[in-house]
Amino acid sequence: MKLSVKPENPARHLYERAGFVRSGIDTHGYLQYERRTDQAPRM
């Protein structure tokens, strides 16, 4: 599973706690995250 979010979006901390790992920055400056779907969330 992948998602992109603006760096100033406070929800990115929620995504990180849910197991998403930052995988890069796209050409528009959005942070890219991905999470393996076989991982359980860490909350």
- 27-39 tens-digit pLDDT: 999 999 999 877 5
Cα dihedral 16, 17, 20, 26, rounded to 10, equals -20
Residue 39, domain member (yes or no): no
> Domain range for residue 19?
2-34
Residue 43, domain member (yes or no): no
Domain count, the chain: 1
Rounded to the nearest angstrom, the gap between the alpha carbon of residue 4 and the centroid of all alpha carbons in its chain is 7
Residue 23, domain member (yes or no): yes
Q: Is the pTM of this model over 0.85?
A: no
Residue 16, domain member (yes or no): yes
In order of 38, 39, 41, the CA distances from 25 in angstroms are 24, 23, 23
Residue 30, domain member (yes or no): yes
Cα-flanking dihedrals φ and ψ of residue 20, to 5°?
-75, 140
SS3 30: coil
Residue 40, domain member (yes or no): no
Residue 28: per-residue pLDDT: 95
